[in-house]
Structure 1
Amino acid sequence: MKRQLFLLLLTCASSHAQVTNVSSTSQTGVDVTHYAAASNYTLYSGNPSEWGNLGQGGYVDFPISSAGGSYALQLYYSNGGSSGAANVYVNGVQQPAALTSGTGGWGTFSLSAATSVTLPVGTSTLRLAATNPVQAFNLAGVLFGPSNPLSKTSFYVSPSSQAAENISQSCSNGASLSTIASQPQGVWFGDWNSNPQADAAYVVKLAQNQGTVPIVVAYDIVNRDCGGGSSGGAANAAAYQAWIQGLALGLGNSKAVVILEPDALSQLNVQGCLSSAQQNERLSLFQYAISMFTQHAPNALVYLDAGHSGAIDVNTMAANLQYAGISNATGFALNVSNYETTGDNTTYGQQISSLVNNKHFIIDTSRNGQGPTADHQFCNPPNRGLGSVSTGFASGVVDADLWVQNPGTSDGTCNGGPPAGTFSLPIACTLIQNAKF
């Protein structure tokens, strides 16, 4: 991985180029031997060449050019083992600092966590400067990448979530439902929304009043849940097309995260669930839905549900996503309403991403704080906990951890739970008690 990164940093800028053209769609390496000015920082040739001996007030400038917008910036650096930071400026305007963790030695190089920088259209000057007090590090490269679409996003907190509507109830373990009710989570739309356009427009308005982005779950596919605990959905393809068009029209030009049809692609491969004709119809309905959001909700970020790390092999799921039209969507979603760990889903998602043109994905972390049970129960497993709260990331193929499911919602009449979709106080209180943020 480090060798590939080093080659990228060396080859993305020509040895004769003085200005690096930063791409808005792929990663761009900046050759650190090209600079406009430097002070209290010395360039050493080698393999790799690097800037060292950073002193008080030290900086190095790099000329860059871009189409403008937000980008993810990372440093390829080494240090003596102590954590620090580099101040980042674009044309003199300070950006969020680039944090540098300890690498364990001056000969050991690492890639910093991404920080977000805003670049103007055209040529500008990137300055990396010493902090005060100085945190020394050697700089061997600079890497720009597209900023993820959910970076720095504030997500919508619904006043009508399951927990919010039951906020007056008390947990016997002392937990407070406000722990759930105060957090952004999915707003689910299904066959209970007879007027999805009006209902979506209402949610959009509330989100705009908050200055937030709603997490919208479209859950009305024909033959939903293969007759299981969440069965239902649109009566036929025509009804679904009308419903999904209404949902898209309701979102309009507002930014929204859309999770498209949980379980629907996973169940393509469940024996006895759908006939061959029904499988083809389902895939065509995914394609239709994506086209409706593209046409009527152009700022919606559409993620096709792709099951979870314990469900279907990556090759099969990647093929399902391709047939469903992933090329025209933002990406895919994992672990919706499930309990598998974030780490396992990240690995699974990275494998799928490599097979679908590096599409990004989100992970539902609403109930995976304790991971799955030993036997990977999916229906109201005991002693589970809340996972990391809804957060967008600046870079990488994981766009966000999101609470897609509403914690406290029952998975069905199993393990003592009420019907699927019904709020359960004992389940909610246990999730809070075992939370792992």
Structure 2
Amino acid sequence: MYGSYTGCTGYTGLRSAGAAAVLCAALLLTGCSGDSGPAVVGQQPEAKDPYWVNPDGTAARQVATYEKGGDQEKADLIRKIAEQPAGEWIGPDDPEGEARRVTEAATKADRYALLVLYNIPYRDCGQFSKGGAPDGNAYRAWVDGVAQGIGDRRATVILEPDALLHLVDGCTPQEHHDERYALIESAVERLKQQPATQVYVDAGNAGWQSPEALQEPLRRAGIERADGFSLNVSNFRTTDVSTEFGRKLSAKVGDKPFVIDTSRNGNGPYEGGDPAETWCNPPGRALGEPPTTTTGDDLVDAYLWIKRPGESDGDCKGGPKAGAWWPEYALGLARAAK
């Protein structure tokens, strides 16, 4: 129920209770999707959203394809996605190079980079996005590579979607628990050595576990040293529900702030069909609030598009493989957006 590596198009893992979407950074930075070339997209006003918009992302390339074919209506719809900053998911093979390329591009545009790290050993409980680093030493070396690639440039890191929740819900075998806590804690410590890096440890979503169940895992994972936690990654819980949940959890972990993934939560979660697959390409969903750091709530640092809208959750409901760009679904999200 998650996702799998799909080469140039990326690797995405979406869990029924809120999971990770992984997109190969090489696709975003080299344009290997084979489309006709990126449309020109600019940056959002810095005061509203200081995060970098990738001008060569899959959505931008889809805009270019529609415009070249004379379909301006669809181009305008996909532009709603292409013009917003979204998370850059760092792949397993060249963490230093990918982090450097993204952060250098963001710095050149005078913006923050938004990075997502999703490479913990025994990732995703052996399901669609199974894999991750082969062992703890490899993971620490990978995180060190990311940190070196970031350098002193401005970056916000979303750390290991689902990793803690899979300990809480029993999905990850007990023999891996102590190591995972130690690895996430060490990742927080290493990344915070970079002078301009923010780190948010993932805490799932409001429909997965209770704040009471999460407070001790977050403490063991180093939330005290982190800048905060992230909620709703790749999920559909509304912003209001996520905010209420986040405030309750924050009160249990030292009043830490949090960020919310609003990429696809405009119509809230899907309640129909097979309850075990409400997470997978649910119909009738919509883009949520555009990314911004102006949230009106002192505890909510930002609304972010951590999941890239328009990528399939998996081969369910007519979708392609997890992680593949699915323009029809992207169009639906954009059309339904308020």
Instruction: Give TM-score scaled by structure 2 length.
Output: 0.80
Aligned residue in 2 for 1:342: 239
**Per-residue deviation, 1:182:** 1.1
Matched AA of 2:95: P
The yes-or-no answer on 1:386 pairing with 2:283 is no
Aligned residue in 1 for 2:334: 432
The yes-or-no answer on 1:165 pairing with 2:69 is no
**Per-residue deviation, 1:409:** 1.0
Greater share of helix: 2
Is this contact kept in 1: 2:192–2:199, CA < 8 A?
no
Matched AA of 2:230: A
The DSSP-based 3-state class of the residue aligned with 1:176 is helix
Aligned residue in 1 for 2:127: 228
**Partners of 1:251 and 1:215 in 2: how far apart?**
11
Give 1:313-324 correspondences, 5 Å limit.
Answer: 313-324=210-221
The DSSP-based 3-state class of the residue aligned with 1:391 is coil
Is this contact kept in 2: 1:314–1:348, CA < 8 A?
yes
The DSSP-based 3-state class of the residue aligned with 1:411 is coil
How far does the alpha carbon of each residue in 1:280-304 deviate from its partner, in whole angstroms, 9 at most, with x for none? 1111110110111122x22111000
CA RMSD in angstroms comes to 1.9
- Pick closer, same or farther for the CA change 1:325–1:228 going to 2, 3 Å: same
**Per-residue deviation, 1:395:** 5.1
Is this contact kept in 2: 1:162–1:406, CA < 8 A?
no
Matched AA of 1:287: E
**Partners of 1:257 and 1:366 in 2: how far apart?**
17
Query: Which has the greater radius of gyration?
Result: 1
**Per-residue deviation, 1:196:** 0.9
Matched AA of 1:154: P
**Partners of 2:252 and 2:56 in 1: how far apart?**
38
Aligned residue in 1 for 2:226: 329
Instruction: Give TM-score scaled by structure 1 length.
Output: 0.62
- Pick closer, same or farther for the CA change 1:153–1:428 going to 2, 3 Å: closer
**Partners of 1:235 and 1:165 in 2: how far apart?**
34
**Per-residue deviation, 1:274:** 2.0
Is this contact kept in 2: 1:229–1:419, CA < 8 A?
no
Give 1:177-216 correspondences, 5 Å limit.
Answer: 177-191=78-92, 194-216=93-115
Aligned residue in 1 for 2:313: 411
Give 1:12-411 correspondences, 5 Å limit.
Answer: 153-170=49-66, 174=74, 176-191=77-92, 194-271=93-170, 273-295=171-193, 297-375=194-272, 377-393=278-294, 396-411=298-313
Structure 1's unaligned 5+ residue stretches are: 1-149
The DSSP-based 3-state class of the residue aligned with 1:288 is helix
Matched AA of 1:396: D
Aligned residue in 1 for 2:12: none
How far does the alpha carbon of each residue in 1:277-331 deviate from its partner, in whole angstroms, 9 at most, with x for none? 2011111110110111122x22111000100000001111112111101000000
Is this contact kept in 2: 1:173–1:429, CA < 8 A?
no
How far does the alpha carbon of each residue in 1:111-167 deviate from its partner, in whole angstroms, 9 at most, with x for none? xxxxxxxxxxxxxxxxxxxxxxxxxxxxxxxxxxxxxxx975511001232312333
**Partners of 2:103 and 2:327 in 1: how far apart?**
28
Structure 2's unaligned 5+ residue stretches are: 1-45
Is this contact kept in 1: 2:49–2:291, CA < 8 A?
no
The DSSP-based 3-state class of the residue aligned with 2:201 is strand
How far does the alpha carbon of each residue in 1:384-418 deviate from its partner, in whole angstroms, 9 at most, with x for none? 11011110037510001011111001111221111
Higher relative contact order (CA 8 A, sep 6+): 2
Matched AA of 1:218: L
- Pick closer, same or farther for the CA change 1:332–1:299 going to 2, 3 Å: same
The DSSP-based 3-state class of the residue aligned with 1:244 is helix
Matched AA of 1:228: Q
- Comparing 326-335 with 222-231, greater Cα deviation is found at 222-231
**Per-residue deviation, 1:374:** 2.1
Matched AA of 2:108: N
**Partners of 1:282 and 1:249 in 2: how far apart?**
22
**Partners of 1:179 and 1:323 in 2: how far apart?**
39
**Partners of 2:185 and 2:336 in 1: how far apart?**
39
Matched AA of 2:212: N
Is this contact kept in 1: 2:211–2:248, CA < 8 A?
yes
State which of 325, 332, 336 in structure 2 corresponds to 1:423. 325
- Pick closer, same or farther for the CA change 1:172–1:311 going to 2, 3 Å: farther
Greater share of strand: 1
Matched AA of 1:286: I
Matched AA of 1:159: P
**Partners of 1:319 and 1:416 in 2: how far apart?**
40
How far does the alpha carbon of each residue in 1:70-113 deviate from its partner, in whole angstroms, 9 at most, with x for none? xxxxxxxxxxxxxxxxxxxxxxxxxxxxxxxxxxxxxxxxxxxx
Matched AA of 2:279: F
